[in-house]
Amino acid sequence: MVLSGFSAIIASLFYLFASLFIWKQIQTQQTLRHKILLTAGLAVILHALALSATLLKGAQIEFGLGNGLSLIAWLASTILLFTNLNKHTETLGIFIFPLAAFSTLFPFGLQDIHPLPYELGSHVLISISAYSIMGLATAQAILYSIQERRFRKKQLGIVLKALPPLQTMEKTLIQLIVIGFIFLSFALLSGAFFIENLFAQHLVHKTFFAILAWTVYALLLLGHFQRGWRGQKAARYAIWAYIFLVLSYVGTEIILYQMG
């Protein structure tokens, strides 16, 4: 526990340093990409070490609100690093890395643990992957929405000027949603095997909002590819869908925490 706590604290500091490097790059327009990626990469590795100590225990996964939110932030940060293999998207870290810095400490403050066998745990991990990818897509949607509005008014600030062009932002948003939608679909399908009684297992709230989120994402993708939905409309759909997705997880965990 001491080692995992130390790793979490150091990871938090590296996330904050990566955020500072991004902010300096935005302000000074210096190229600090390598420093950002190196610092964030170290943060992700240390974050993973801290999470493995609190998440994996023997033949089961000890899952709860604290390490669940921390895992979402870790996956979002990891995915962001991978997107930098073919795109310059490190600027998005100014929004994700500070949240990840705080999330590394959540498992030590929120101790509501639900032990899960690995079969059910695999379903949870798929679900968390979907939440993380869609979370990154939502951050992209918010930035795109603000950038597009400010571009029309010719009021782009230093942060928005540092972002990729609108066309690249929109293309990245749709790509993330497509990948996240696949994970979310698998999460819903795999979850059906573990549902015996919605009411007894307190899953009505979770299932309702998860299906609602899936439906909104499906409408967004159908509208984009069939009717050419894009711009602010696509961003609004993405943001609302993720709100429903967050309610399906966080709201259920709060209910279970209060009942426990």
What is the SS3 string spanning 35-83?
Answer: HHHHHHHHHHHHHHHHHHHHHEECCEEEEEHHHHHHHHHHHHHHHHHHH
CA 17/CA 37 separation, integer angstroms: 11
In angstroms, the CA 137 to CA 143 distance is 10
Whether residue 160 is found in the same domain as residue 37: no
Q: Which of 95, 111, 127 is the last residue of a domain?
A: 111
Q: Are 202 and 255 a contacting pair, CB within 8 Å?
A: yes
Q: Evaluate if pTM is beyond 0.85.
A: no
234-241: average pLDDT: 93
Alpha-carbon distance of 74 to 132, in angstroms, equals 8
Q: Look at residues 82, 111, 140 and tell me which one is the last residue of a structural domain.
A: 111
Residues 125 and 198 in one domain: yes
What's the average model confidence in pLDDT over 218-224? 95
pLDDT (tens digit per residue) in 46-86: 999 988 888 777 667 777 778 878 888 898 899 889 888 77
User: Which residue range is the domain that position 69 belongs to?
Assistant: 1-111
Q: What are the structure tokens assigned to 142, written together?
A: 């918010």
pLDDT at residue 199, rounded to an integer? 42
